Amino acid sequence: MVAWPLIDQMNPAADTLALSTVDFDLTAVEEGQQVKVMWQGKPLFVRHRTKKEIDLAVKDDTASLKDPQTDAERLLQVDGAAGNAQYLIMGANCTHLGCVPLGVNDAGFKGNFSGWFCPCHGSDYDSSGRIRSGPAPTNLPVPPFKYTTDTLVKIGAKA
Amino acid sequence: MSGPSTYQPNSGFERWLDARLPIVRLAHDSFVDFPTPKNLNYWWTFGGILAFCLVVQIITGIILAMHYVPHIDHAFDSVERIRRDVNYGWLIQSIHANGASMFFLAVYIHMFRGLYFGSYKAPRELLWMLGVVIYFLMVAAAFMGYVLPWGQMSFWGATVITNLLGALPIVGESITTWLWGGFAVDNATLNRFFSLHYLIPFVIAGIVVLHIWALHVPGNNNPTGIDVKSKADTVPFHPYYTVKDGFAIVVFAMMFAAFVFFLPNALGHADNYIPANPAVTPAEIVPEWYLLPFYAILRCVPDKLLGVLAMFAAIFVLFILPWLDTSKVRSMRYRPIARQFFVVFVIACLALGFFGGQPPEGAYLIGSRIATAYYFAFFLIILPVVGLIERPQRMPETIAQSVLRGAKA
């Protein structure tokens, strides 16, 4: 229709859409530490998980989950290759209304699953970033990424 | 009804103009010689006050737009520059920010007046509906205006509210991306909010013209709710109501000035003095006070989509009000039962405003659910039923008679 250009102009522009990539050096993240990385205008969590957190995540693969996913699935690279269980990369916006949840080491953390807790309305995520309790409908989303070396990851990489 | 025009052009120029573009005639017929019920009380001055607010916001807004920069890297700093370096920028910015609150204070009183005195009832249904449209546009303009300073509350308020659209099934995500112009609230969003924030007040002005036109066809309602029957019931708008409205505007402006000069940040949120940070969510995300009732309604429903629908329904129900109220009597002055439910309704609205500013848990959550239930029950159950079963009190024969007998305000 004639009006379409007037409407479509508001959709993301070409420069915004260009699936920008971010190269991140994982050696910057200590074990038990997390870092926030901006990608496509939104923050991501990059967490260097402890053995305890990894074991907890794998153990809960079979727990009753609102958005069922195994920990291994959430570590897969964009081309289907297995990822690295030590490093969890995922979106930092709660899937309820977009607040940034607090991690286990952050002040004010009140979660029950050793993962992330959103102070806005109480969504509680486990150590794999899966929603376990609260109003959020889905797990914290995992962006497409590819390891270019053992310690360098390209976030936003295409398959 | 105004009847035939009484305008007499006095000078040669006036006659020349009247023959080509009778704009002075229109102004005379609408605002000078317009027959207005002689018993209007001070609740009727808020229309004029609102026109004053709109003009103030437009003038201060256009001036701010000469100095404000709508880019995420400069927006916050440009507002600080206005406050510190632009000559009288501190004054103009304070008037504009507090003016938004004054605008909403006036519009809520204006709306409550309409509800109590039955100004929405036939033949003024369209007048009322145009008013609801104006209110909705005010909410949109205020929401976008608050994003522009690009503080923490600007950014996160925008994030939460635009994320709500994602709740709509099927089209939700595409609409949210379209609104954002990207994958999150970002520069594209800020820039277009600036454009629309500049546009909407002029759309409002156009609809205000229709609103006043729709008013002037049947003429003003009045506190008794009974129709004008003869010239004895009216006085000319000028000088009686030009002066009365002028006085009311002066008093209103004094309260406005108290905020502008002595309490400039009282109605705002301290977190908006922190530049927006997409990586850090503030401890609480709340809108400005005039949007708190809707926030309370939104959050008291446990389901995301239903909460969004309830929030929009709260405005939509106002739209259809003329057809919900079954009473043959306009003014609640003579409706003893409806009047009591109305008082509770006002309390419910104030309660919703209070709850909107509290965390949605425990007693606050229960309270907001009760207040929300009453809000919808008032329009959908109480008004339809009470109109049918109520026995109204005795009303005066004419407006003139009600004034002579010294009726209460």
Predicted pLDDT of residue A42: 85
Q: Distance (Å) from the C-alpha of residue A69 to the closest C-alpha of chain B?
A: 22
Counted domains in chain A: 1
Q: Is residue A41 part of a domain?
A: yes
> Could you please report the per-residue DSSP string of B241-298?
HHHHHHHHHHHHHHHHHIIIII-TTTTS-GGGGSBP-TT---S-----GGGHHHHHHH
Does residue A57 belong to any structural domain of this protein? yes
B258 CB neighbour count, 10 Å cutoff: 12
Nearest C-alpha neighbor of A74 from the set A65, A66, A85: A85
Distances (CA, A) of B42 to B104, B131, B274, B358: 17, 19, 41, 33
Question: Residue B167: what pLDDT?
Answer: 87
Closest Cα of chain A to B59: distance in Å?
Answer: 28
Q: Which residues contact A72 (CB under 8 A, 6 or more apart)?
A: A58, A61, A82, A85
Residue A64, domain member (yes or no) = yes
Token pair for B344: 């509770």
| A71 within domain boundaries | yes
pLDDT at residue A121, rounded to an integer:
85
Please classify residue B183 by burial: count the beta carbons closer than 10 Å to its beta carbon, then call 0-12 exposed, 13-18 middle and 19+ buried: middle
Q: Do B183 and A38 touch (CB under 8 A)?
A: no
Q: Is B281 at the interface with chain A, CB within 8 A?
A: yes
DSSP string, B320-387: THHHH---S---GGG-HHHHHHHHHHHHHHHHHHHHHTS-SSHHHHHHHHHHHHHHHHIIIIIHHHHH
Is 50 exceeded by the pLDDT of residue A96?
yes
| CATH assignment at residue A58 | 2.102.10.10
- Long-range own/partner contacts, residues B40-44 (CB < 8 A, 24 or more apart): B40/B220, B40/B222, B40/B223, B40/B241, B40/B244, B41/B223, B41/B409, B42/B244, B42/B248, B42/B409, B43/B109, B43/B113, B43/B116, B43/B117, B43/B223, B44/B113, B44/B220, B44/B222, B44/B241
What confidence score (pLDDT) does residue B127 get? 98
Give long-range contacts, CB 8 A cutoff, 24+ apart: A52-58: A52/A114, A53/A114, A53/A115, A53/A127, A54/A85, A54/A86, A54/A127, A56/A113, A56/A114, A56/A126, A56/A127, A57/A126, A57/A127, A57/A128
Contact list in A for residue B184 (CB cut-off 8 A) is 40-42, 93
Rounded to a whole number of angstroms, the distance from the CA of B297 to the nearest CA of chain A is 15
* A109 within domain boundaries: no
Specify the long-range contacts of residues A123-128, CB closer than 8 Å, at least 24 apart: A123/A94, A123/A95, A123/A96, A125/A101, A126/A56, A126/A57, A126/A60, A127/A49, A127/A53, A127/A54, A127/A56, A127/A57, A127/A88, A128/A57, A128/A60, A128/A69, A128/A71, A128/A74, A128/A88
Q: Name the active-site residue from A36, A51, A66, A121.
A: A121
Domain that holds residue A148: 22-97+139-155
pLDDT value for B409: 47
For chain B, where do the domains classified as CATH 1.20.810.10 start and end?
Answer: 40-287
Whether residue A30 lies inside any domain: the answer is: yes
Contacts of B192 in chain A (CB under 8 A): 10
Q: Which of residues 93-152 of A touch B (CB under 8 A)?
A: 93, 96-100, 119-121, 135, 137
At the topology level, CATH places domain B40-287 in Cytochrome Bc1 Complex; Chain C (1.20.810)
Query: What's the pLDDT tens digit per position in A22-65?
Result: 899 999 999 999 999 988 878 999 999 999 999 999 999 988 99
Question: Residue A19: is its pLDDT beyond 80?
Answer: no
At A120 the pLDDT is: 86
B164 close contact with A: CB closer than 8 A:
yes
Cα three-residue angle B165-B196-B258, rounded to 5 degrees: 100
Residues forming a β-bridge with B37: B234
pLDDT (tens digit, 9 = 90+) per residue, B23-38? 999 999 999 999 999 9
Instruction: Classify the C-alpha dihedral A151-A152-A156-A157 as positive or negative.
Output: negative
- Quick check: B179 contacting A, CB < 8 Å? yes
- A69 located within any domain: yes
The answer to whether the Cβ–Cβ distance between A97 and B164 falls below 8 Å is: yes
State the pTM of this model: 0.89
> Does any domain span residue A49?
yes
pLDDT at position B355 is: 97
Tell me what ipTM this predicted complex has.
Answer: 0.80
CB < 8 Å to B302, chain A: 135
**Chain mean pLDDT for chain A:** 91
- Spans of chain B, pLDDT less than 50: 409
